Amino acid sequence: MTLPRLFKTEAIVLRQRKLGEADRILTLYTPTYGKLDAKAKGVRKTTSRMSGHLQPLTRCMVQLARGRSMEVIAGCQALESFAVIREDLQRLSRALYAAELVDRFVPEHVESHATYHLLLDTLRRLAQALDADSVLRYFEMRLLEHSGFRPELARCLGCERQLQPVTNYFSPGAGGTLCPECAGGTAGPRPLSVNALKVMRLLQRGSYNDMARLQVPPELGQEIERHLRSYIVHVLERDVNAAAFIERLRRDALFETIEV
Amino acid sequence: MNEPLPSAAGPVARLIEEFHKLPGVGPKSAQRLTYYVLRAPAAEAQALAQALLDVKDKIVLCSVCQNVTDVDPCRICADGQRDRTTICVVEEPLDILALERTRSYRGLYHVLHGVISPMEGIGPDELKMKELLDRLRSNEVGEVIVATNPNLEGEATAMYLGKLLRALGLKVTRLARGLPVGADLEYADDITLARALEGRQEFSG
Ligand SMILES: [Zn+2]
Ligand SMILES: [Zn+2]
């Protein structure tokens, strides 16, 4: 997509890195122009009018001008800063995880209204929900689907038969479920409990509200998290950095509860 | 921008390349620096090279505060005049220079050498946080001032440290945040404005 010389767009700031003495390169996610890098000049100076509007996870309106190697931010105005997320490590760690996944899954300069709104809805849900992990699981399942990696959860990918209500297997390499016979003896697939399969099917077919109404016990939640994470790591061929911080907060019992 | 330099001979090209690796130095500046060195007297080039080597040879991290130093413990930690009940936690050694320039802080420091950046895979274990906790075991310290930058990662680090240290019964404070000097109210973002209101102070005049 050729970008206009000067244009205005809504964007969510996915990440930023330092450039030179006082500048930053921001990775912006926009509905119409997809993911793009933009230079924000002088935002590390304390006198910058822009830096507060361009923090990661902020939804903002930006004016972009075509530069030599990348877009340059000519103006910006924060629309939603998600202060509730920033003030709570539980919510923040999950929001950064969602932003990292979007950054890794979506290509540059490809229009994607659906995934943009998925991320925006996820940030809004994280700002409100008591169960931040369920918000993430729903997000992961939708993102996989938007990116063309919808996991198979109805049939066995080996023999094509409908799955029986017994402990089946989830295979990241195969991209979904295997029955006990087909999974037998191979190393990759992990046991998938009957309840985990049910919840994963609901995540895939239901609405967010269906999921929010469900009370998922912690152990079941962690089983589902492991399956989806292993599939995501397989698809991306790398770890998701922000996942380590979520784990860390779980280990430090101090940080266990979400603050309301 | 990155086209090869056909006229530059081996050692010249190498120096340009080395300068270019430095943060904030673009290809044009790298060339200017290189030709400056070429024209400078040999003694000046010698002094530069020696300074570069010394910094790697003679500079260590202070075993107490983790600041860069040529003596261990560093001059601030060794200074008997400083208030040993207060520790100011900063991200980088350069932050200490900025705070020392104000001449209004008389306590000790601790350098984390970074901030929690979950997306970059930097967590508490990648920072000098354990060293800070070890220091706090001695009962001398009463207050910890968290002076990380007022951006997302700096705030996350401050929150993490705050919870950890308050659980140890320490007083934890944060540098006041508000409107930067020289800023216009109308251009301030919501978070900055809200904090400026929270941190308002009585004044006489
Ligand atoms: Zn089968
Ligand atoms: Zn020291």
Residues of B in contact with A95 (CB under 8 A): none
Percent of chain B with pLDDT over 70: 87
CATH architecture of A84-259: Up-down Bundle (1.20)
The list of chain A residues with pLDDT below 50 reads 260
DSSP 8-state class, residue A182: H
| pLDDT 10s digits, B91-138 | 999 999 988 988 889 999 999 999 999 999 999 999 999 999 999 987
pLDDT classification of B1: cutoffs 50, 70, 90: very low
Preferred mutation among A69, A77, A82, A92 to probe B, highest tally of B CBs within 10 A: A92
What gap in Å lies between CA B127 and CA A108, rounded to an integer?
32
Judge whether residue B6 has pLDDT over 60.
Answer: no
Chain CA centroid to CA A109, Å: 18
Per the document, the length of chain B is: 205
- For the segment B57-71, the average pLDDT, to the nearest whole number, is 94
Calculate the average pLDDT of chain B: 87
Q: Where are the domains of chain A?
A: 6-81, 84-259
Instruction: Give the integer Cα–Cα distance in Å for A33 and B80.
Output: 59
Fold type of domain B10-58: Helicase, Ruva Protein; domain 3 (1.10.8)
- The pLDDT value given to residue B111: 97
**Strand locations in B26-147 (E):** 60-61, 68-69, 83-90, 107-111, 143-146
pTM of the model: 0.86
The amino acid at A90: Q
> Which site among B22, B95, B163, B191 would you substitute to test the A interface, given the most A Cβ atoms closer than 10 Å to its Cβ?
B191
Q: What is the pLDDT of residues B147-202, one digit of tens each?
A: 998 889 999 999 999 999 998 889 999 887 776 665 666 766 777 777 767 766 66
In the numeric block, the tokens 């997320």 are attached to A85
Rounded to 10 deg, the angle between the A194-205 and A218-236 helix axes is: 60
The tens digit of pLDDT for each residue in A12-60 reads: 999 998 887 788 999 999 999 999 999 998 888 877 878 888 899 999 9
Mutual angle of helices B27-39 and B42-58, in 10-degree steps = 120
Between CA A103 and CA A147 the distance in angstroms is: 12
pLDDT score, position A187: 74
CB contact under 8 A, B183 and A49: yes
Task: Write out the residue limits of the CATH 1.10.8.420 domain(s) in chain B.
Answer: 10-58
Q: What is the CATH number of domain B68-202?
A: 3.40.1360.10
CA distances from B43 to B18, B30, B36, B40 (A): 20, 21, 13, 8
Residue B101, C-beta contacts closer than 8 angstroms, at least 6 positions apart: none
Gap between the Cα atoms of B39 and B30, Å rounded:
15
Is B186 in the A-facing interface, judged by CB distances under 8 Å? no
User: b vs e for B71-88, b when ≥16 Cβ sit within 10 Å of the residue's Cβ?
Assistant: eeebebbeeeebeeebbb
Contacts of B116 in chain A (CB under 8 A): 245
Chain B positions touching A99 (Cβ under 8 A) are 119
B120 to chain A, any CB pair closer than 8 A? The answer is yes
Residues 6+ apart with CB under 8 A from A131: A212, A216
CATH 3.40.1360.10 positions along chain B are 68-202
Identify whether the C-beta of residue B131 lies closer than 8 Å to the C-beta of residue A34.
no
Q: What letter would DSSP give residue B24?
A: T
Kindly give the distance from the C-alpha atom of residue A158 to the centroid of ligand 1, in angstroms, as a whole number.
5
Q: What are the C-alpha distances in Å from A124 to residues A89, A128, A246, B62?
A: 16, 7, 19, 44
Kind and range of the H or E element at B47? Answer: helix B42-58
Greatest alpha-carbon span in chain B? 67
What is the number of other CB atoms lying within 10 angstroms of the CB of residue B12?
16
Q: Mind listing the pLDDT tens digit for each residue in B9-30?
A: 688 999 999 999 988 788 899 9
Q: Are the CB atoms for A211 and A196 separated by under 8 Å?
A: no
Spatial contact of B69 and B47, defined as CB atoms under 8 Å apart: no
Residue A79: enclosing H or E segment and its boundaries? Answer: strand A71-80
What is the DSSP annotation of A116-169?
A: HHHHHHHHHHHHH-S-HHHHHHHHHHHHHHHTT-PPB-SB-TTT-PBPPSS-EE
Asked if A72 contacts A41 with a C-beta cutoff of 8 angstroms, the reply is: yes
pLDDT at B185 (0 to 100): 66
Task: Give me the long-range contacts of B182-189 (CB less than 8 A, separation at least 24).
Answer: B182/A46, B182/A47, B183/A47, B183/A49, B184/A49, B187/A49, B188/A49, B188/A52, B189/A52, B189/A53, B189/A78, B189/A81
The CATH architecture to which A6-81 belongs is Beta Barrel (2.40)
CB contact under 8 Å between A244 and B121, yes or no, is yes
Residue whose pair of structure tokens reads 């198979």 in the numeric block: A152
The ligand that comes nearest to the alpha carbon of residue B110 is 2
Query: Which residues, 6 or more positions from B98, have their beta carbon under 8 angstroms from its beta carbon?
Result: none
Question: Dihedral, CA atoms, A147, A149, A155, A160, nearest 10 degrees?
Answer: 120
Give the phi and the psi of residue A206 in degrees, each rounded to 5. -85, 180
| pLDDT reported for residue A168 | 97
Among candidate residues A196, A254, A257, A198, the one with its CA nearest the CA of residue A225: A196
DSSP A6-60: EEEEEEEEEEEEEETTTEEEEEEEETTTEEEEEEETTTTSTT-SSGGGSSTT-EE
Contact B190 A78 (CB under 8 A): yes
Task: State whether B181 and A46 contact (CB < 8 Å).
Answer: yes
Quick check: A87 and A53 in contact, CB under 8 A? no
pLDDT at B204 over 90: no
Residues of B in contact with A68 (CB under 8 A): 1
